[in-house]
Amino acid sequence: MTQFMNKKEDIVTDAVDGIIAASGGKLARLDGYPHIRVVVRNDWDKSKVALVSGGGSGHEPAHAGFVGEGMLTAAVCGDVFASPSVDAVLAGILAVTGSAGCLLIVKNYTGDRLNFGLAAERAKAFGLDVSMVVVDDDVALPDLPQARGVAGTLFVHKIAGALADRGVSLKEIAERVEKVISGTKTIGMSLDTCTVPGSPKETRIPKGMAELGLGIHGEAGVEQIQYTNAKQAMGAVVAKLADHMGDGNHVALLNNLGGASVLEMAVLTNELAHSDIAGKLKWLIGPASMVTSLDMRGFSVSVYASDDEELETLSHPTSLSAWPGVSEITPVTVLNLPDGLAPIKPLPSEHQETRDFLIKCCEVLIESESDLNALDAKSGDGDTGSTLAGASRALISTMDTLPLADHTQLYRAIGQELSQAMGGSSGVLLAIFFAAAGDAASSGLSMTSSLKAGLVRMQEVGGAKLGDRTMVDALLPALDALNDGWDMAANAARAGADHTATLVKANAGRATYINAQQLEGHTDPGAEAVARLFEHLQG
C-alpha cells in the first residue's frame, strides 16, 4: 500500500521537522541531520534532571511527541524500527544534561540497550551524572529472559517527567521508576501486520485470525488465535494480563497500535471497562495512539497498580497533546429521556369550513396520484404521486382528531401527521413547513404571512431556491400572489410549475443526480402538485 512519505530514507527527518513545526516553537532539533535526529525542548535550562528516551522510529508519537514540559527533555530518533547510533544518543545527552544529571529511559531491545548504554558511559567521561533504566513491560513471552519494552514505557515517561519537573533528584527518580517498571505489564493484539515504509506488506495474519502478544516492530505474535469479535479479543488480552496483576487499583493504558479506527478503539474501551479485570481497573489513559507500530490495526493494554502519589504524577499537567490524560473509569451515567419526545396531542375541535377545505386538498392530490407518479418517473423513482396520495388518505382518516377550530395548532398538527405518514425528505420538509407556519401564526401573522414563513424555513433547511426545480418554484410565486386572491395565486402556481419543464438542471433534491437531457420538457412533480392544489381551490 502506498504511504504518505517522500524518499524512504528521509521519512524520519521529514517527520521530526513536522513534529517540531507543529510544536509552537517549544521544540528544537540538533544540527546533526541526516544521522543525528535529536528532538529537544527549546526552553530547557538544565536546572532539573533531564529525561532522554528514544529508539527506533515508527512508534510516533513516541518518543518525539512526548518531549515537552512535564515529560521528556529529549528524544533520540533512529531509523524506522532501528536503534539510533551511540553518537546520536550521546549528542542528546550532552545537549540537555546539566548538574542535576540525566536519566535515560530505554526500551528493552539489544540495540537500544547497547547504544544508550555506551553513550551513557561516554557522557560519564565528561563528568555528567547519567543513569539508565530499561523498560521490559511486555508479558507476551513468559519464558523469554529479556521481555520487550512496549507501550508501558509511557508510565515511566510521565511519572519521571512529573518528578523531574518538581525538582526531584536523579537518584530518587531512578529508584521510583524502577518500581514502576517492575510493576508495569503490557500485551498487544493485532488483526493485521504493519506496513514498513518502502517494503511490501507482510501477509502473515490470515483473514479471521488475530495475533496475540506481538511486538511493536512487526515481530510475529506469540500465538495466532481465531478472531471472533471485540469482546473476545479484549478477553484474550486481559486473560494474559490477569496472571500478572496483584491487588490494588490499577491504571490501564489503552494504546492504538496505529491502524485501528477511533470508532474501534471506543468499542475496545467499552470492552475493557467490562472485562474480567475491570474490577481492578480504576483509571484509564487513552484510548489513543501513543506507542504505535506504524499503521498496525491493533491495540495494546498496559496495567500498573499505582499508589496515590504515582497517580498524582500521572495527572501532573502537561501541554502535550499526544498525552491523553488520566480519567477515572466510571459506570456510564444514563439520564432519563426528556419529556416531550411524544408529540403534544392537540385537543380535537370541529370547524366545518376548515374540514371541507382540507378534504378538498386531499382529494385533489389523491386524484393526481397517477399523473404525478408518471411525471416523477422522468426524474426520480416515480412515487411522488403515491407518496402524496397516501399522506392525503392518512390525513382524511385522522380528520376527527385534528384541532380544526384552532388554526395555529392545526398547522403543527398537520405537520406532525405528514411527517409520520410520509416517508423520506418530503415528509420532513412539509413537517418543517407546517411547523414553522404554525409558529408564525401563533405570533399573530396572517395565513399568507404564516405560510410564507413556513416556506422560508423549509427553504433554509432544504436548501432549495427558486429555479432549483422543486415545489418551491410553484409555491413561492403562489404565496406571493395570494393576497390578490386564489385566482392570481393559482395562475402564479401554474406558471411556476410549467416553468420547471424548461429548467434543465436540478439544484436540490434527488433530481440533481439526473442529467439535463432527461429533465428537459418535464414539469417537476412537486411543483405540479402545488399548481393543481391552487387551481382546484380557486373555484
- How many other C-beta atoms are found inside a 10 Å radius of the C-beta of residue 5? 14
One of 53, 153, 269, 470 touching a copy of itself (CB under 8 A):
269
Interaction pattern, residues 93-112, with a copy of itself; x per rule: CB under 8 A: -xx------------x-xx-
One of 305, 507, 514, 538 touching a copy of itself (CB under 8 A):
507
Rounded least distance, CB 148 to a copy of itself, Å: 12
Rounded least distance, CB 388 to a copy of itself, Å: 17
Q: Does 210 bind a copy of itself (CB under 8 A)?
A: yes
One of 200, 246, 279, 338 touching a copy of itself (CB under 8 A):
338
What are the cell numbers at 220? 510475529
Residues within window 178-207 making contact with a copy of itself, judged by CB under 8 A:
191-192, 197, 207
Q: Does 24 bind a copy of itself (CB under 8 A)?
A: yes
- Cα 74 from chain centroid? 31
- Cα 153 from chain centroid? 26
Q: Kindly report the backbone phi and psi dihedral angles of residue 300, in degrees, each rounded to the nearest multiple of 5, phi listed first.
A: -135, 155
Q: Which stretch binds a copy of itself (CB under 8 A): 82-90, 167-175, 480-488, 494-502?
A: 82-90
Cβ-contact 525, 380 below 8 angstroms: yes
Rounded least distance, CB 482 to a copy of itself, Å: 22
Q: Does 440 bind a copy of itself (CB under 8 A)?
A: no
Respond yes or no on whether the N-terminal peptide bond of residue 34 is cis (omega within 30° of 0).
yes
Rounded least distance, CB 172 to a copy of itself, Å: 19
Amino acid at position 86, single letter: V
Interaction pattern, residues 474-493, with a copy of itself; x per rule: CB under 8 A: --------------------
The number of residues in the chain equals: 539
Q: Are strands 50-57 and 38-41 parallel, antiparallel or unpaired?
A: unpaired
Closer residue to a copy of itself (CB): 285 or 529:
285
Q: Does 539 bind a copy of itself (CB under 8 A)?
A: no
Q: Does 154 bind a copy of itself (CB under 8 A)?
A: no
CA distance 252 to 244: 13
Q: Does 23 bind a copy of itself (CB under 8 A)?
A: yes
CA distance 121 to 127: 10
3-state secondary structure 234-267: HHHHHHHHHCCCCCCCEEEEEEECECCCHHHHHH
Q: Does 231 bind a copy of itself (CB under 8 A)?
A: yes
Q: Which stretch binds a copy of itself (CB under 8 A): 79-87, 161-169, 306-314, 365-373?
A: 79-87
CA distance 530 to 458: 15
CA distance 323 to 335: 30
Annotated active-site residue 217? The verdict is yes
Rounded least distance, CB 264 to a copy of itself, Å: 4
Q: What is the DSSP letter of 54?
A: E
CA distance 259 to 323: 18
Rounded least distance, CB 132 to a copy of itself, Å: 8
Q: Are strands 74-80 and 50-57 parallel, antiparallel or unpaired?
A: parallel
Residues within window 53-72 making contact with a copy of itself, judged by CB under 8 A:
57-58, 60-61, 65
356 in helix, strand or coil? helix
Q: Which stretch binds a copy of itself (CB under 8 A): 172-180, 268-276, 364-372, 474-482?
A: 268-276
CA distance 67 to 72: 4
One of 220, 225, 267, 495 touching a copy of itself (CB under 8 A):
267
Closer residue to a copy of itself (CB): 118 or 396:
118
Q: Does 457 bind a copy of itself (CB under 8 A)?
A: yes
Rounded least distance, CB 416 to a copy of itself, Å: 8
One of 67, 90, 102, 170 touching a copy of itself (CB under 8 A):
90
Q: Which stretch binds a copy of itself (CB under 8 A): 151-159, 266-274, 369-377, 387-395?
A: 266-274
CA distance 137 to 147: 7
Question: Residues 217, 250, 316, 499: which is the catalytic one?
Answer: 217
Q: Does 250 bind a copy of itself (CB under 8 A)?
A: no
Amino acid at position 442, single letter: S
- For the chain, the straight-line distance linking the first and the last C-alpha, in angstroms and rounded, comes to 69
Q: Give how many residues touch a copy of itself by CB under 8 A.
A: 135
Residues within window 352-411 making contact with a copy of itself, judged by CB under 8 A:
none
Interaction pattern, residues 26-55, with a copy of itself; x per rule: CB under 8 A: -xxxxxx---x---x-x-------------
Q: Does 7 bind a copy of itself (CB under 8 A)?
A: yes
CA distance 140 to 221: 8
CA distance 213 to 210: 10
Nearest Cα neighbor of 218 from 81, 363, 63, 403 is 81
Q: Does 165 bind a copy of itself (CB under 8 A)?
A: no
Closer residue to a copy of itself (CB): 128 or 305:
128
List Cβ neighbours of 81 (8 Å cut-off, separation of 6 or more): 56, 57, 58, 196, 217, 218
What are the cell numbers at 268? 475496545
Residues within window 273-302 making contact with a copy of itself, judged by CB under 8 A:
273, 284, 286-289, 292, 294-295, 297, 299
What are the cell numbers at 109? 531491545
Rounded least distance, CB 169 to a copy of itself, Å: 20
- How many other C-beta atoms are found inside a 10 Å radius of the C-beta of residue 230? 16
Cβ-contact 45, 95 below 8 angstroms: no
One of 37, 63, 107, 113 touching a copy of itself (CB under 8 A):
113
Rounded least distance, CB 102 to a copy of itself, Å: 12
Residues with active-site annotation:
217
